[in-house]
């Protein structure tokens, strides 16, 4: 067990890591040796060798589909490698299940949390772990509180998980592993669901865990975060480790990005401004469940981005605009027509295109082929009386598939044969085929790799010449690259709507996403910058997103 | 003690008696559902329990052997449901319905030669001291052993769910089996236990019918009590305390209906026989209006896909 309390606490208070060298002399906890794994013909991992050392944060950097998650699922016992071995403490070990890996001290925090919403934090942490037949709730809470305190993972042990924010849930997941004395903690894209502030708190907790001798693996495709938090960086590309850097020799962001994708990628796009013309979408004082007094206009020739952490009313706003939910109070006008009138007519010729975030569930039907999927929203364009001109549609799909480079281009294949990126290209091709004048795109590049992202971005910018675009995104970079104006959403309202050229406001987006207006920094503990993590800013205070109403005890006896 | 009070007390005591088999079955189904499995075969498991309890008692002369046989056979039948849902990931609704049909058919087929034969079964006895409490003693403590056993179940149920390691694991399997699996538990194994326990209790409910409520075997002796139990689980929001209330509510209506018939009330008997079932519909309406569905275990009825 390398979990020794560190004794180097006061060495360098200005750096976030206090005991980086404390565990440097120790041998690796885990060594992955020549791991290979294929799914059918797809080679997910090929001959990967990695050392994971105590007290060290190792970043696995790579695009979507580079094999990061596969590799870590193998290490966590969820998948079995085809060849190669996992060496724990110098002994080759076979994991038949995640249970075996957990027993060996290796645990993973998955992107989809494995938590029981109706149970308390303490119950979730002790699930399957309690040493006693009978549970003692008060003692469970104390134990969890002590553990949370030790690693700076603030969370209320008696709270029900269902009422917690994403950041808090993540802390519960980490606490579960810590409670089991896990020595290796694997975090799979942990920042995807966090606010900038929560991200900082997570990084601090990670440093704290590393200082106490834990080995951490941080899976990410976000360069900036990797550079901030990691001690060592391994770059995965197409299932192979193409580079490994230690803290001392980490190159700059551009070099890292190039190594990651294997060619020069311009992460900046050329977003020349167009002169906005007429207003195509206007939302005035829209309120309802999850929304309060939202006002916004989108003009032809511009992209308006709504930035914010998911779950702050974006979904409700999009549903109201796209006709999926009736606006309760306030007004929505699309192409000059009131909501009710606009959505009263038949779909298809409406001029509003919706590119949903859930491209597998909402945008397409998995079982249908590409032509049928294409016809889902364009069928009116191919209608001949009550019949569909399918031959015409087939030609159109072929053109779109070619023009948007959808791979594989077999239009008789069902939609599920397509990867997320290719499906997205098909959806965008389909929606743009209708020549929309209003485009609502919801996280259009989520889960796409860099080249597909670039393509989608290019299409959206192109579309400005004939349409107004409302871009809902959780990716700040995307908002900054594409948008002419940015609205920051928090808890159902816009904190601010401003022009991208307003440097001061752009600087403060992180704070706004956490609900702080830059002009009124009333809460002192919220006032610190969301950029660099700050040692003084302990991850101590409970998250404001937590729901205090959820603390009632379990069922009562008869 | 005047006539009316005596009548009321006897109806209330009869309420406990006719509520008991429903209570067993409801708690059993609730247990199964808390583990995430919907088993609509309660009626089938109950009647098989009723028959095997009768048969075992008839053969051995010992009613406790009957109770054990009923539990094991009810549980055994439920394992069939486990095979369909846990091994082959079959549809839980279809499998449960099939189990009901199978159970009713089996009991009918095997039981026909024994119809009308009486057996010893359980006799009522007064619990010392407690039976002498005014009112409550008459209502609750002048019954048979199976009734007294049923008093212990709800608190045990609650204690198990809220205060034991195994209960926590069972709830996790019903709420989020993947989370249970990630915590190193085996949700499939837990659900096997949930299904068997539920079947065992449904069998005991059946045993009560043939060994205590009556002392004989007749065809279709459960007459829909299993379905009432399924409805009561929803009515009770998956809470044992409310299950007691619900079971006695139904028991009360059944007892009252019998008493009214016996007194020759001027109402068509078919109308009165309908009462418990009409109440079932009302209860379901009321609990869905109150949002009872939201109290259901999150993964209820959802099969566990085998991991790769």
Tell me the pLDDT tens digit for each residue of A427-469: 999 999 988 999 999 988 876 777 778 888 988 998 998 999 9
Q: Residue B290 has what pLDDT?
A: 74
Name the residue ranges covered by the structural domains of chain A: 30-114+181-261, 266-346+473-540
Q: Residue B65 has what pLDDT?
A: 96
Closest to B286 (Cα-Cα) out of B297, B298, B275, B278: B278
Interface touch A133/B169, C-beta < 8 Å:
no
**Chain B interface mutation, best of A126, A128, A144, highest count of B Cβ atoms under 10 Å:** A128
Beta bridge partners of A353: A439
Is residue A117 within 8 angstroms of chain B, CB to CB? yes
Looking up residue B249, the CATH number of its domain turns out to be 1.10.3470
* Shortest Cα distance, chain B CAs vs residue A83, angstroms: 17
pTM (whole model) above 0.90: no
* Shortest Cα distance, chain B CAs vs residue A127, angstroms: 6
What is the rounded end-to-end Cα distance, in angstroms, of chain B? Answer: 70
Domain-located, residue B91: yes
Q: How far is CA A185 from the centre of its chain?
A: 19
Among B159, B179, B239, the residue with its CB nearest the CB of A116 is B179
Q: What is the 3-state secondary structure (H, E, C) of chain B?
A: CCHHHHHHHHHHHHHHHHHHHHHHHHHHHHHHHHCCCCCCCHHHHHHHHHHHHHHHHHHHCCHHHHHHHHHHHHHHHHHHHHHHHHHCCCCHHHHHHHHHHHHHHHHHHHHHHHCCCECCCCCCCCCCCHHHCCCHHHHHCCCCHHHHHHHHHHHHHHHHHHHEHHHHHHHHHHHCHHHHHHCCCCHHHHHHHHHHHHHHHHHHHHHHHHHHHCCECCCCCCCCHHHHHHHHHHHCCCCHHHHHHHHHHHHHHHHHHHHHHHCCCCCCHHHHHHHHHHHHHHHHHHHHHCCHHHHCCCCCCCCCCCCC
Give residue A530's pLDDT band: very low, low, confident or very high (50, 70, 90): very low
The 10s digit of each residue's pLDDT in A9-49 is 333 333 466 666 777 778 889 999 999 998 766 678 889 99
The radius of gyration of chain B's CA atoms, rounded to the nearest angstrom, is 19
For residue B158, what are the contacts with CB-CB under 8 A and spacing of at least 6?
A: A555, A556, A557, A558, B240, B241
Q: Residue A543 has what pLDDT?
A: 39
Q: Residue A300 has what pLDDT?
A: 93
Domain-located, residue B267: yes
Chain A residues within an 8 Å CB radius of B244: 558
Does the pLDDT at position A329 exceed 70? yes
Q: Residue B1 has what pLDDT?
A: 57
Do residues B209 and B203 make contact, with C-beta atoms less than 8 angstroms apart?
no
Taking residue A462's Cβ as centre, other Cβ atoms within 10 Å add up to 11
The residues of chain B scoring below 70 in pLDDT are 1, 291-294, 307-308
Closest to A142 (Cα-Cα) out of A118, A161, A127, A122: A122
Q: Residue B205 has what pLDDT?
A: 97
> Minimal Cα distance from B246: which residue of A?
A558
Q: Residue A529 has what pLDDT?
A: 39
Chain A residues within an 8 Å CB radius of B165: 130, 132-135
Domain-located, residue B92: yes
Say how far apart CA A310 and CA A474 lie, in whole Å. 6
Domain-located, residue B31: yes
Interface touch A557/B154, C-beta < 8 Å:
yes
**Dihedral (CA of A219, A225, A228, A229) sign:** negative
Give me the mean pLDDT over the A107-115 stretch.
87
> Minimal Cα distance from B161: which residue of A?
A555
CATH topology classification for A266-346+473-540? Rossmann fold (3.40.50)
Give residue A349's pLDDT band: very low, low, confident or very high (50, 70, 90): low
Domain-located, residue B305: no
**Chain A interface mutation, best of B179, B187, B295, highest count of A Cβ atoms under 10 Å:** B179
* Shortest Cα distance, chain A CAs vs residue B263, angstroms: 34
* Shortest Cα distance, chain A CAs vs residue B226, angstroms: 22
Does the pLDDT at position A269 exceed 80? no
Q: What is the 3-state secondary structure (H, E, C) of A520-538?
A: CCCCHHHCCCCCCCCCCCC
In this structure, are strands A232-237 and A240-246 parallel, antiparallel, or unpaired? antiparallel
A5, burial (CB in 10 Å: exposed 0-12, middle 13-18, buried 19+) = exposed
The 10s digit of each residue's pLDDT in A391-439 is 999 999 999 998 888 877 788 888 877 777 788 889 999 999 988 999 9
Of all residues in chain A, the percent with pLDDT exceeding 70 is 84
Chain A residues within an 8 Å CB radius of B19: none
Secondary structure (3-state) at A118: coil
CB pairs under 8 A between A and B: 92
What is the rounded end-to-end Cα distance, in angstroms, of chain A? Answer: 46
Chain A residues within an 8 Å CB radius of B184: 98-99, 102-103, 128-129
Domain-located, residue B264: yes
Interface touch B165/A98, C-beta < 8 Å:
no
A369 φ/ψ angles, rounded to the nearest 5 degrees: -80, 180
Say how far apart CA A339 and CA A452 lie, in whole Å. 34
**Chain B interface mutation, best of A116, A137, A181, A182, highest count of B Cβ atoms under 10 Å:** A116
For residue A341, what are the contacts with CB-CB under 8 A and spacing of at least 6?
A: none
Say how far apart CA A6 and CA A23 lie, in whole Å. 9
Does the pLDDT at position A119 exceed 60? yes
Taking residue A487's Cβ as centre, other Cβ atoms within 10 Å add up to 24
Q: What is the DSSP letter of A194?
A: -
Range of the domain at B286: 3-295
Chain B residues within an 8 Å CB radius of A129: 183-184
For residues A477 and A378, the model is more confident at A378
A385, burial (CB in 10 Å: exposed 0-12, middle 13-18, buried 19+) = exposed
State in words which class domain A30-114+181-261 has.
alpha beta
Chain A residues within an 8 Å CB radius of B175: 116-119
* Shortest Cα distance, chain B CAs vs residue A557, angstroms: 6
For residue A211, what are the contacts with CB-CB under 8 A and spacing of at least 6?
A: A6, A8, A17, A18, A19, A20, A22, A55
**Dihedral (CA of A427, A437, A288, A543) sign:** positive
Number of domains in chain B: 1
- Helix (H) or strand (E) run with residue A287 in it: strand A279-288
Interface touch A128/B183, C-beta < 8 Å:
yes
Among B182, B239, B298, the residue with its CB nearest the CB of A555 is B239
Is residue B110 within 8 angstroms of chain A, CB to CB? no
Chain B residues within an 8 Å CB radius of A555: 158, 161-162, 239-241
Is residue A126 within 8 angstroms of chain B, CB to CB? yes
Q: Residue A41 has what pLDDT?
A: 61
Does the pLDDT at position A59 exceed 80? yes
Interface touch A123/B162, C-beta < 8 Å:
no
Beta bridge partners of A441: A355, A471
CA distances from B44 to A251, B53, B74, B79, B106 (A): 70, 14, 8, 13, 9
Secondary structure (3-state) at A348: coil
Average pLDDT for chain A: 81
Closest to A248 (Cα-Cα) out of A269, A235, A230: A230
Q: Residue B292 has what pLDDT?
A: 58
Q: Residue A538 has what pLDDT?
A: 38
Interface touch B241/A129, C-beta < 8 Å:
no
Chain B residues within an 8 Å CB radius of A117: 175-176, 298
Among B162, B169, B178, the residue with its CB nearest the CB of A127 is B169
Is residue A368 within 8 angstroms of chain B, CB to CB? no
A260, burial (CB in 10 Å: exposed 0-12, middle 13-18, buried 19+) = buried
Chain A residues within an 8 Å CB radius of B172: 116, 119, 127-128
> Minimal Cα distance from B164: which residue of A?
A134
> Minimal Cα distance from A122: which residue of B?
B168
Interface touch A119/B175, C-beta < 8 Å:
yes
Is residue A162 within 8 angstroms of chain B, CB to CB? no
Q: Residue A535 has what pLDDT?
A: 38
In this structure, are strands A438-442 and A468-473 parallel, antiparallel, or unpaired? parallel
Give me the mean pLDDT over the A384-389 stretch.
87
Say how far apart CA B250 and CA B248 lie, in whole Å. 5
Among A114, A115, A123, the residue with its CB nearest the CB of B168 is A123
Give me the mean pLDDT over the A227-231 stretch.
88
Does the pLDDT at position A146 exceed 90? yes
Give residue A547's pLDDT band: very low, low, confident or very high (50, 70, 90): very low
* Shortest Cα distance, chain A CAs vs residue B287, angstroms: 17
Closest to A429 (Cα-Cα) out of A406, A448, A446: A406
Among B184, B244, B308, the residue with its CB nearest the CB of A558 is B244
Of all residues in chain A, the percent with pLDDT exceeding 90 is 34
Q: Residue A347 has what pLDDT?
A: 64
Q: Residue A325 has what pLDDT?
A: 87
Is residue B156 within 8 angstroms of chain A, CB to CB? no
Q: Cis link prior to A408 (omega < 30° from 0)?
A: yes
Chain B residues within an 8 Å CB radius of A138: none
Say how far apart CA A291 and CA A285 lie, in whole Å. 10
Q: Residue A116 has what pLDDT?
A: 93
């Amino acid at each position: 067990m390398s979990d020794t309390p560190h004794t180097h606490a006061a060495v360098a208070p200005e750096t976030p890591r206090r005991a980086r060298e404390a565990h440097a002399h120790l041998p690796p906890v885990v060594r992955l040796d020549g791991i290979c794994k294929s799914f059918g013909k797809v080679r997910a991992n090929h001959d990967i060798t990695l050392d994971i050392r105590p007290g060290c944060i190792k970043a696995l950097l790579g695009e979507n589909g580079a094999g990061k998650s596969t590799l870590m699922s193998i290490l966590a016992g969820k998948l079995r490698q085809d060849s190669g071995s996992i060496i724990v403490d110098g002994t080759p070990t076979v994991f038949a299940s995640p249970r075996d890996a957990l027993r060996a001290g290796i645990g993973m925090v998955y992107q989809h949390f494995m938590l029981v919403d109706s149970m308390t934090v303490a119950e979730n942490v002790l699930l399957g772990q309690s040493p006693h037949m009978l549970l003692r709730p008060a003692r469970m809470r104390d134990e969890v509180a002590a553990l949370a305190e030790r690693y700076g993972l603030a969370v209320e042990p008696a709270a029900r998980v269902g009422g917690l924010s994403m950041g808090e849930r993540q802390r519960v997941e980490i606490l579960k592993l810590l409670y089991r004395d896990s020595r290796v903690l694997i975090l799979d894209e942990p920042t995807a669901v966090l606010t900038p502030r929560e991200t900082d708190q997570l990084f601090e907790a990670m440093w704290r865990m590393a200082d106490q001798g834990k080995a951490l693996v941080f899976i990410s495709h976000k360069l900036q975060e990797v550079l901030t938090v990691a001690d060592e960086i391994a770059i995965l590309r197409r299932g192979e480790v193409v580079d490994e850097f230690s803290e001392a020799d980490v190159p700059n962001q551009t070099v890292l990005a190039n190594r990651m994708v294997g060619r020069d990628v311009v992460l900046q796009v050329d977003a020349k401004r167009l002169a906005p013309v007429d207003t195509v979408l206007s939302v005035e004082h829209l309120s309802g469940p999850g929304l309060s007094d939202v006002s916004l206009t989108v003009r032809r020739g511009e992209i308006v981005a709504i930035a914010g952490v998911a779950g702050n009313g974006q979904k409700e706003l999009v549903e109201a605009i796209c006709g999926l939910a009736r606006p309760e109070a306030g007004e929505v006008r699309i192409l000059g027509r009131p909501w009710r009138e606009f959505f009263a007519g038949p779909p298809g010729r409406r001029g509003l295109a919706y590119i949903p975030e859930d491209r597998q569930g909402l945008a397409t039907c998995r079982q249908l082929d590409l032509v049928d999927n294409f016809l889902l929203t364009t069928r009116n364009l191919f209608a001949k009386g009550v019949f569909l001109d399918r031959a015409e549609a087939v030609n159109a799909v072929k053109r779109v598939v070619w023009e948007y480079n959808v791979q594989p281009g077999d239009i008789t294949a069902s939609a599920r044969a397509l990867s997320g990126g290719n499906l997205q290209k098909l959806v965008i091709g389909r929606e743009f085929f209708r020549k929309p004048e209003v485009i609502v795109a919801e996280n259009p590049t989520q889960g796409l790799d860099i080249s597909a992202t670039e393509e989608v971005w290019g299409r959206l910018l192109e579309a400005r010449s004939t349409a107004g675009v409302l871009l809902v995104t959780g990716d700040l970079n995307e908002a900054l690259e594409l948008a002419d104006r940015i609205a920051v959403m928090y808890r159902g309202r816009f904190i601010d709507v401003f022009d991208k050229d307003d440097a001061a406001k752009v600087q403060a987006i992180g704070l706004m996403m956490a609900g702080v207006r830059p002009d009124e920094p009333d809460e002192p503990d919220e006032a610190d910058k969301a950029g660099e993590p700050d040692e003084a800013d302990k991850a101590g205070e409970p998250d404001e997103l937590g729901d205090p109403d959820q603390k009632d005890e379990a069922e009562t006896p008869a | 003690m005047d006539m009316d009070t005596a009548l009321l007390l006897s109806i209330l005591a009869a309420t406990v008696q006719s509520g008991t088999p429903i209570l067993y079955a409801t708690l059993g189904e609730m247990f199964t559902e808390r583990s995430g499995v919907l088993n609509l075969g309660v009626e089938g498991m109950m009647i098989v329990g009723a028959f095997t309890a009768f048969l075992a008692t008839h053969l051995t002369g010992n009613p406790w052997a009957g109770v054990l046989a009923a539990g094991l056979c009810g549980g055994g039948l439920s394992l069939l449901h486990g095979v369909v849902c846990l091994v082959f990931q079959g549809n839980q609704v279809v499998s449960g319905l099939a189990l009901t049909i199978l159970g009713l058919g089996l009991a009918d087929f095997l039981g026909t030669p024994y119809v009308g034969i009486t057996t010893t079964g359980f006799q009522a006895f007064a619990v010392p001291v407690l039976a002498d409490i005014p009112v409550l003693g008459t209502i609750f403590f002048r019954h048979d052993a199976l009734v007294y056993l049923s008093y212990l179940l709800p608190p045990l149920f609650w204690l198990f769910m809220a205060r034991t390691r195994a209960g926590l694991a069972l709830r996790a399997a019903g709420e989020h089996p993947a989370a249970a699996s990630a915590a190193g538990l085996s949700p499939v194994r837990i659900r096997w236990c949930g299904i068997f326990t539920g079947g065992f209790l449904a069998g005991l409910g059946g045993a009560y019918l043939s060994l205590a409520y009556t002392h004989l075997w007749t065809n279709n002796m459960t007459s829909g009590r299993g379905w009432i139990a399924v409805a009561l689980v929803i009515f009770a929001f998956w809470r044992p305390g409310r299950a007691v209330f619900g079971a006695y509510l139904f028991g009360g209506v059944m007892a009252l209906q019998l008493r009214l018939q016996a007194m020759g009330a001027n109402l068509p008997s078919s109308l009165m026989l309908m009462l418990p079932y009409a109440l079932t519909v009302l209860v379901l309406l009321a609990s869905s209006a109150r949002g009872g569905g939201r109290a259901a275990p999150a993964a209820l009825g959802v099969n566990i896909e085998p991991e790769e």
